[in-house]
């Protein structure tokens, strides 16, 4: 046929093109992202594709190697110098001769598994905000007075089809020298502004510059995690994390806000602390990845509203009380050097939008990653910290709220609670007849009733209960009948088990009879009840808003979500009834969302549009919150049923 059919995988986009069209052009016309730095000169090697051979009945295509033009001199030269992997072709230098099924290699897609899974099986295509564009600029001519810079911009517009193109001022004094360094051949790093049709040159390099990097970062109130990725191949080349140094000003968010309110330089000190930590992390990922700091050209940050404000140098005082006004809720785009993160002079920073005064850019990023707004099923997304950020919705409508769970789930208000560390109890089972417990501690393979446990545990000791296990202990106590539906430890059981101890007017449960003694007290159980009731009441409000009495799917984000067993969370009524198969830990979904925005600017628009549509519910103002809270104090709940548990 004179217009062969070309199908691109894995996106499935297809079209007919005249014989002789280059594969790269065909991809461009269909909006299939294939990287190219040299602009089709067969020197960068970024545009590689692969031809699938065979008869594809479903698509009505027979595809074979000879439906592409044979190796030409340019491809041969590239292959000789740089080497092309078996079967790969340079799409810029290959013409279409017949029907084709073309594979755009997915090894160039970063962490394809992670991102794809997180993005709900969608193929994760790249389209970074910063592109590297090689051009050959016309030399100056006495008869044409056009300036060097103007000829550079013209060449870029012509070869790379920019409608409007500008340049960062810091480059003005350097343009002439860079152009002359390699005979008028340069690579421009071009940043696409959020307004779709305008772009700016943010860095300029002599000759062909075939690499550029970006960082994606989740600023948590406890930990900060950063990933360094190649903007060209999409590969993640290094990852690092550190604890948030703001902890020294206050453990939880509200104490950090009060620190700002009480200390004249409090805001400055906390902003400096987080930026120092970020600069340290940038050095770390650069060292790990063998990348120069100046080669980082783009960056994306997410965080809860208070972290978001402090990172940007904004006073978070207004977030400390009603009406919880954000200084800025929309996405922010600026130069990294303006916020004390020097990398390349032109490096850009993108910060995702915040959903509400208590529901931040981290929740927005998690939403982008898990995609409730992209599916028909009603999905609940929960991220538990000292505040639980809750998102509930589907393609039709998304609502969000936060709930003041307090730090009990992190083991804070629990008498024997501790951070996850060797020696901490992480799993518990209680025999419903004898009321005897067995448990496992971090750092030891065996359960406490298995041979070899005692010897193995001498190294670490048995030190406390780690945050994620608190849920399990209380749920097991409930299942064994030690605590009632109201959460009261049954003192009558003291008559038949030495595990039930009396202290004053209440009782406690002896989990480990040794040094130190580890008990679960009535107060501990109250703290868990209060936290879980707050969480559940928030979820319930959102379910009311959606008019549903059950959810189809639950994603538990963050460290807490990774470690708790969904069954126990449901036994205690932390989360609403749901098919247990469909309750999943989604890991650091916020970090994944940040990375998606780094590698594909279309996701920036998607989350900005979505956040604008999300309805924010202020739990404190909802009269029904109290009612739901009281019902949720019971185990698992006074009024709601959990058919999946029976
Ligand atoms: Fe650079 Fe094909 S676009 S080698």
Helix (H, G, I), strand (E, B) or coil at 490: coil
Tokens coding 473: 């202990």
For ligand 1, mutation pick of 45, 94, 95 (most atoms within 8 Å of CB): 45
Please name the residues in contact with 146: beta carbons below 8 A apart, sequence gap of 6 or more: 154
Q: How many A from CA of 61 to the centre of ligand 1?
A: 26
* Same domain? 148 vs 232: no
Q: 206, 226, 246: which is the final residue of a domain? A: 206
Mean pLDDT per 10-residue run, the chain (646 residues)? 87 92 93 87 91 89 92 91 90 95 67 36 70 95 91 95 94 97 97 82 96 95 91 89 90 87 94 97 96 98 96 95 91 96 97 94 95 95 87 97 83 82 92 96 93 91 88 94 95 94 94 92 94 95 95 89 87 93 90 93 95 91 92 93 84
Q: How many A from CA of 47 to the centre of ligand 1?
A: 5
Q: How many A from CA of 206 to the centre of ligand 1?
A: 18
For ligand 1, mutation pick of 36, 76, 84, 131 (most atoms within 8 Å of CB): 36
For ligand 1, mutation pick of 40, 85, 185 (most atoms within 8 Å of CB): 40
Whether the upstream peptide bond of residue 516 has omega within 30° of 0, thus cis, is yes
Q: 489, 506, 526: which is the final residue of a domain? A: 526
For ligand 1, mutation pick of 32, 82, 90, 210 (most atoms within 8 Å of CB): 90
* Same domain? 512 vs 549: no
- Report the alpha-carbon distance of residue 365 to residue 371 in Å, rounded: 10
- Report the alpha-carbon distance of residue 544 to residue 624 in Å, rounded: 9
| Residue 28 resides in a domain | yes
* Same domain? 623 vs 545: yes
* Same domain? 297 vs 396: no
- Report the alpha-carbon distance of residue 138 to residue 61 in Å, rounded: 43
| Residue 47 resides in a domain | yes
Domain total of the chain: 5
Contact yes or no for 545/553 (Cβ under 8 A): no
HEC letters along 414-470:
CCCEECCCCCEEEEEEECCCCCCEEEEECCCCCCCCCCCHHHHHHCCCCCEEEHHHH
- Distance (Å) of CA 54 to CA 10, 88, 377, 396, 576: 16, 16, 37, 41, 50
- Report the alpha-carbon distance of residue 569 to residue 574 in Å, rounded: 5
Q: What is the number of alpha carbons within 13 Å of residue 638 lying toward its C-beta?
A: 13
Which pLDDT value is given to residue 15? Answer: 94
Contact yes or no for 430/436 (Cβ under 8 A): yes
| Residue 365 resides in a domain | no
Containing domain of residue 73, as a range? 5-108
* Same domain? 181 vs 228: no
In this structure, which long-range contacts are made by residues 119-125, counting pairs with CB atoms below 8 Å and at least 24 apart in sequence?
Answer: 119/369, 119/371, 119/592, 119/596, 120/370, 120/371, 120/374, 120/375, 122/371, 122/374, 123/10, 123/11, 124/596, 124/599, 124/600, 125/11, 125/32, 125/33, 125/600
- 314 phi-psi bin (left φ>0, alpha ψ -120 to 50, beta other): beta
Residue 79: CATH number of its domain: 3.10.20.30
Residue 181: CATH number of its domain: 3.10.20.880
Ligand 1 residue neighbourhood (C-beta within 6 Å): 36-38, 40, 42-47, 90, 92
Which atom of ligand 1 is nearest the CA belonging to 45? 4
* Same domain? 428 vs 485: yes
Which pLDDT value is given to residue 192? Answer: 93
Which pLDDT value is given to residue 196? Answer: 63
| Residue 114 resides in a domain | no
Which pLDDT value is given to residue 26? Answer: 94
Q: 108, 143, 159: which is the final residue of a domain? A: 108
Which atom of ligand 1 is nearest the CA belonging to 38? 1
Which atom of ligand 1 is nearest the CA belonging to 37? 1
Q: How many A from CA of 48 to the centre of ligand 1?
A: 8
| Residue 122 resides in a domain | no
Whether the upstream peptide bond of residue 323 has omega within 30° of 0, thus cis, is yes
| Residue 120 resides in a domain | no
* Same domain? 387 vs 415: no
| Residue 617 resides in a domain | yes
* Same domain? 218 vs 308: yes
CA-wise closest residue to 358 among 403, 317, 309, 328:
403
- Count of residues making up the chain: 646
- 31 phi-psi bin (left φ>0, alpha ψ -120 to 50, beta other): left
Helix orientation angle between 266-289 and 305-312, rounded to the nearest 10 degrees: 90
- Report the alpha-carbon distance of residue 635 to residue 478 in Å, rounded: 8
Contact yes or no for 98/21 (Cβ under 8 A): no
| Residue 628 resides in a domain | yes
* Same domain? 347 vs 218: yes
* Same domain? 292 vs 440: no
Helix orientation angle between 522-546 and 467-479, rounded to the nearest 10 degrees: 90
| Radius of gyration over every alpha carbon of the chain, rounded to an integer in angstroms | 29
* Same domain? 171 vs 303: no
CA-wise closest residue to 469 among 574, 567, 586, 565:
565
Which pLDDT value is given to residue 106? Answer: 60
The ipTM estimated for the assembled molecules is 0.99
* Same domain? 143 vs 30: no
Residue 265: CATH number of its domain: 3.30.420.480
Residue 474 CA from chain centroid, whole number: 31
Tokens coding 469: 């296990």
């Amino acid at each position: 046929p004179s217009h062969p059919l070309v199908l691109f995988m894995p996106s499935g986009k297809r079209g007919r093109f005249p014989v002789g069209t280059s594969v790269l052009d065909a991809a461009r016309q269909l909006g299939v992202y294939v990287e190219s730095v040299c602009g089709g000169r067969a020197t960068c090697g970024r545009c590689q594709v692969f031809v699938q051979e065979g008869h594809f009945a479903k698509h009505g295509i027979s595809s074979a190697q000879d439906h592409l033009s044979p190796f030409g001199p340019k491809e041969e030269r590239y292959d000789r110098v740089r080497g092309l992997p078996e079967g790969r072709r340079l799409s810029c230098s290959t013409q279409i001769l017949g029907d084709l099924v073309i594979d755009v290699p997915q090894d160039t897609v970063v962490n394809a598994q992670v991102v794809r899974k997180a993005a709900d099986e969608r193929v994760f295509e790249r389209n970074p905000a910063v592109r590297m564009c090689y051009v050959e600029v016309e030399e100056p001519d006495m008869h044409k007075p056009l300036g060097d810079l103007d000829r550079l911009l013209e060449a870029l517009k012509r070869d790379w089809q920019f409608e409007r193109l500008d340049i960062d001022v810091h480059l003005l004094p350097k343009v002439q020298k860079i152009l002359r360094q390699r005979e008028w051949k340069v690579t421009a790093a071009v940043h696409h502004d959020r307004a779709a049709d305008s772009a700016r040159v943010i860095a300029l390099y002599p000759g062909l510059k075939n690499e550029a990097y970006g960082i994606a970062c989740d600023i948590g109130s406890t930990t900060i995690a950063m990933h360094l990725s190649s903007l060209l191949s999409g590969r993640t080349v290094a990852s690092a994390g550190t604890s948030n140094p703001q902890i020294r000003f206050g453990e939880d968010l509200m104490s950090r806000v009060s620190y700002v309110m009480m200390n004249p330089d409090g805001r400055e000190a906390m902003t400096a602390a987080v930026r120092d930590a970020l600069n340290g992390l940038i050095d770390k990922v650069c060292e790990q990845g063998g990348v120069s700091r100046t080669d980082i050209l783009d960056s994306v940050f997410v965080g809860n509203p208070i972290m978001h404000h402090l990172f940007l140098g904004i006073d978070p005082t207004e977030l400390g009380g009603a009406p919880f006004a954000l200084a800025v809720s929309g996405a922010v785009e600026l130069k990294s050097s303006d916020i004390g993160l020097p990398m390349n002079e032109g490096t850009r920073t993108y910060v995702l939008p915040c959903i509400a005064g208590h529901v931040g850019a981290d929740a927005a990023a998690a939403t982008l990653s898990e995609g409730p707004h992209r599916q028909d099923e009603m999905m609940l997304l929960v991220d538990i910290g000292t505040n639980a950020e809750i998102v509930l919705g589907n393609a039709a409508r998304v609502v969000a709220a936060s709930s003041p769970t307090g730090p009990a789930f992190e083991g804070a208000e629990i008498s024997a609670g501790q951070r996850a560390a060797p020696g901490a109890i992480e799993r518990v089972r209680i025999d419903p007849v004898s009321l005897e417990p067995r448990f496992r501690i971090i750092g030891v393979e065996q359960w406490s009733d298995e041979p070899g446990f005692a010897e193995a545990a001498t190294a670490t000791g048995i030190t406390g209960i780690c945050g994620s296990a608190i849920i399990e202990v209380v749920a097991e106590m409930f299942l064994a009948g030690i605590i009632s539906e109201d959460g009261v430890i049954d003192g009558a059981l003291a008559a038949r088990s030495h595990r039930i101890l009396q202290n004053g007017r209440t009782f406690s449960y002896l989990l480990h009879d040794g040094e130190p003694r580890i008990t679960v007290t009535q107060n501990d159980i109250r703290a868990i009840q209060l936290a879980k009731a707050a969480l559940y009441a928030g979820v319930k409000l959102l379910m009311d808003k959606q008019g549903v009495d059950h959810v189809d799917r639950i994603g538990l984000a963050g460290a807490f979500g990774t470690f708790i067993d969904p069954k126990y969370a449901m036994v205690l009524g932390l989360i609403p009834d749901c098919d247990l198969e469909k309750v999943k830990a989604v890991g650091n979904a916020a970090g994944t969302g940040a990375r998606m925005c780094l590698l594909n600017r279309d996701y920036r628009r998607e989350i900005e549009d979505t956040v604008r549509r999300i309805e924010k519910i202020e739990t404190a103002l909802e009269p029904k919150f109290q009612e739901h809270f009281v019902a949720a104090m019971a185990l698992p709940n006074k009024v709601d049923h959990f058919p999946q548990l029976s």
